[in-house]
Amino acid sequence: MNNKFSSQYVIKLLKQLYMYTTKNEINKLCYEILSCAIEVHRVLGPGLLELVYEKCLIFELEARGLEVRSQIDIQILYKGHYLVINLRLDLLVEDIIIVELKAVEAFIPLNSAQIISHLNLMGKPKGILINFNKTNIFKNGQKTFVTQKFKELPDGF
């Protein structure tokens, strides 16, 4: 029998099936992501380019054993055809949380519209918008967004 699935791939699939199936589990993951962002901000401070923060945040997330994919082109299924559109999300953590990074003076409505579009097109339950150009990420440098998919999940323990 030709086994085309690696053990790592099977472990990843099982993890996705049994992890992050409640609001509490997803919220814990978001807390971990924000903790990593705060650490990056603590070390680097504000005022750098977004790409610098992105690379360092990926390092922190992976150091905690989290799976991270970056700069993902978003595809949509339209009338049976997959179409690549000119949207790219910054990070996808554990294939469940979308993270959009900014290094700007302040969030603008377009930033919120962007992450909401990404969430809906990718069918993900929750996203985080992080602005590294603030003095305190937790207080005024992050916003979370949820979809109907998140609202329908059980609360958990």
pLDDT, tens digit, for every residue of 128-143?
A: 999 999 999 999 999 9
Single out the residue of 101, 99, 39, 91 nearest to residue 64, CA to CA: 39
The whole-angstrom separation of Cα 18 and Cα 129 is 26
- Label residue 14 by pLDDT band (50, 70, 90): low
Q: What is the pLDDT of residues 16-72, one digit of tens each?
A: 555 678 999 999 999 999 999 999 999 999 999 999 999 999 999 999 999 999 999
Residue 15 has pLDDT above 70, yes or no: no
> Please, which residues have CB within 8 angstroms of residue 40's CB and are 6 or more apart in sequence?
53, 56, 57, 60, 132
Q: Tell me what pLDDT residue 76 has.
A: 87
- How many domains, the chain? 1
Residue 156 domain-assigned (yes or no): no
Give me the pLDDT at residue 54, please. Answer: 98
Order the strands of the 97-102 sheet from edge to edge: 68-78, 81-93, 97-102, 126-131, 142-146
Would residue 157 count as lying in a domain? no
Residue of 66, 111, 116 lying closest to 92 (CA atoms) = 66
Q: Tell whether 1 is covered by a domain.
A: no
Query: Can you point out the beta strands (E) in 43-80?
Result: 68-78
Query: Is 16 part of a structural domain of the chain?
Result: yes
Q: Read off the CATH number of the domain in which 62 is found.
A: 3.40.1350
* 61-113: pLDDT as tens digits: 999 999 999 999 998 889 999 898 888 999 999 999 999 999 999 999 999 99
- CA-wise closest residue to 33 among 97, 107, 120, 125: 97
93 belongs to a structural domain: yes
108 lies in a domain? yes
Sign of the Cα pseudo-torsion (18, 96, 55, 34, in order): negative
Q: In terms of DSSP bridges, do strands 81-93 and 68-78 run parallel, antiparallel, or are they unpaired?
A: antiparallel
Instruction: Indicate whether 2 belongs to any domain.
Output: no
Question: Would you place residue 2 in the very low, low, confident or very high pLDDT band (cuts 50, 70, 90)?
Answer: very low
Q: Would residue 141 count as lying in a domain?
A: yes
Range of the domain at 63: 7-151
